[in-house]
Amino acid sequence: MGIVVPKHLECQGSASLVMVFIHGGGLVTGGASLFEGSALSVYEDVVVVTVQYRLGILGFFSKGDEKVPGNFGVLDQVAALRWVQENIRNFGGDPGSVTIFGQSAGALTVSVLAMSPMSKGLFHRAIAESGVPLLPGFAANTPEDLIPFNNVLANISGCDRSTLLDCLMEMTEEEITEMPLIVLPLFVDGVFLPRPVEDILTAGEMNAVPFMVGLNEHEFGWMIPQSMNLPGLTDGMDRETAERNVRSFPQLSFVSGFLPLVMEEYFGDVDDPLQIRERFLELCCDLFFVIPALKFARYLRGNFTEEEKLLSRIMMKYWANFARSGDPNGPGLVKWPQYEDDEGYLEIGMKQRSAVRLRGIRHRLDRDPPRKNAKV
């Protein structure tokens, strides 16, 4: 963990808002030391905390059981946020004003921290820059969902699938860190993630904090495709190669039913191999990042109450009645009086009521201005 403090806080002893950064890197690479935060701290007068967490196998290997539930990397982040709550005041920070923010995989974990009961109350705002938990393949909901990942892990580690855990535990730290990188999912363990991500979002069970979500340009354009060793990334590709590459992603199986339409939309007007490569990267960015971000943002919108939904229906009924007959009134509606000498009107809110003379005597100011010293 790194902490950068504006110099004046050392002298004045005042409390400043705290920003906790969670780095990206696909949950397999990167580090807090790459983002030490001094410029942000100096220019914006904030205490910046950067968090290191376990990555790769050490951070996210799971057997889907109580013995190895996984999610160790995000549990490190929870521990860091608890430390901030208990100690940041000693560095001039305000534990009552903590914002977590992250980029790419860091944004993914920011998003799930906002969904986990374990981190409730540990921060007060969240920023996810190019990563949300609706990214295909990000979370495994059942132990069965982990099997393909653990099969790959067994292959690259040289371990037998039936004794994978014991084999990994016998390896040295150097042997583990020298293995090929493998992106492992978070697991719905019933504790950190009590339910599948979409179930939590649908039920509106996210921690109630202001949330900012956004995207980086070309988020898919470098590290991810390079790590996948996809054909055509260097010299360009034709449409057939682009389609095979899309089909090679098991996470994108949901587009198989309408893939011809997708291919026409993205590649229908280009023939140049380099342009096709760029369109392929754009397509993958949309499928992995843009569409999930837009879908996630829709969940963040405030939900209407039942009273508000009823008010909407009442307004629609008044307007539709008037459109049909010139009279807004109808069965089950409070009477909307026609405007006549008694100056009747309808007050529409969570409850409706008929009344007369809107604003009382005040509505006559344009016709009968009050004399000096007269009371309105």
CATH number, domain at 68?
Answer: 3.40.50.1820
Q: Is residue 153 part of a domain?
A: yes
SS (H, E, C) the chain: CEEECCHHHHHHCCCEEEEEEECCCCCCCCCHHHCCCHHHHHHHCCEEEEECCCCHHHHHCCCCCCCCCCCHHHHHHHHHHHHHHHHHHHHCEEEEEEEEEEECHHHHHHHHHCCCHHHCCCCCEEEEECCCCCCCCCEECCHHHHHHHHHHHHHHHCCCHHHHHHHHHHCCHHHHHCCCCCCCCEECCCCCCCCCHHHHHHCCCCCCCCEEEECCCCCCCCHHHHHHCCCCCCCCCCHHHHHHHHHCCHHHHHHHHHHHHHHHHHHCCCCCHHHHHHHHHHHHHHHHHHHHHHHHHHHHCCCCCHHHHHHHHHHHHHHHHHHHHCCCCCCCCCCCCCCCCCCEEEECCCCCEEEECCCHHHHHCCCCCCCCCCCC
User: Residue 328 falls within a domain, yes or no?
Assistant: yes
Q: Please check whether residues 29 and 110 belong to one and the same domain.
A: yes
Same domain for 335 and 205: no
**195 in the same domain as 231:** no
Boundaries of domain holding 182: 2-214
Same domain assignment for residues 62 and 195: yes
Q: Are residues 122 and 12 in the same domain?
A: yes
Q: Which of 214, 243, 278 is the last residue of a domain?
A: 214
Examine the domain organization and report whether 125 and 230 are in the same domain: no
Q: Within a domain: residue 300?
A: no
Question: Same domain for 348 and 281?
Answer: no
Whether residues 207 and 312 fall in one domain = no
Tokens of 158: 């040289």
Residue type, 101: F
What domain count does the chain have?
3
Is 370 a member of any domain? Answer: no
Q: Please say which residue of 214, 238, 260 terminates a domain.
A: 214
- Could you read off the pLDDT tens digit of each residue along the chain, which spans 376 residues? 999 998 877 655 578 999 999 999 989 999 998 998 999 999 999 999 999 999 999 999 999 999 999 999 999 999 999 999 999 999 999 999 999 999 999 999 999 999 999 999 999 999 999 999 998 788 999 999 999 999 999 999 999 999 999 999 999 999 998 998 888 999 999 999 999 999 999 998 999 999 999 998 877 776 666 666 788 888 899 999 999 988 887 767 777 788 888 899 999 989 999 999 999 999 888 888 898 999 999 998 877 788 989 999 999 999 999 999 999 999 999 999 998 888 888 989 888 888 887 655 545 555 555 555 555 4
Same domain, 11 and 138: yes
**Same-domain pairing of 176 and 319:** no
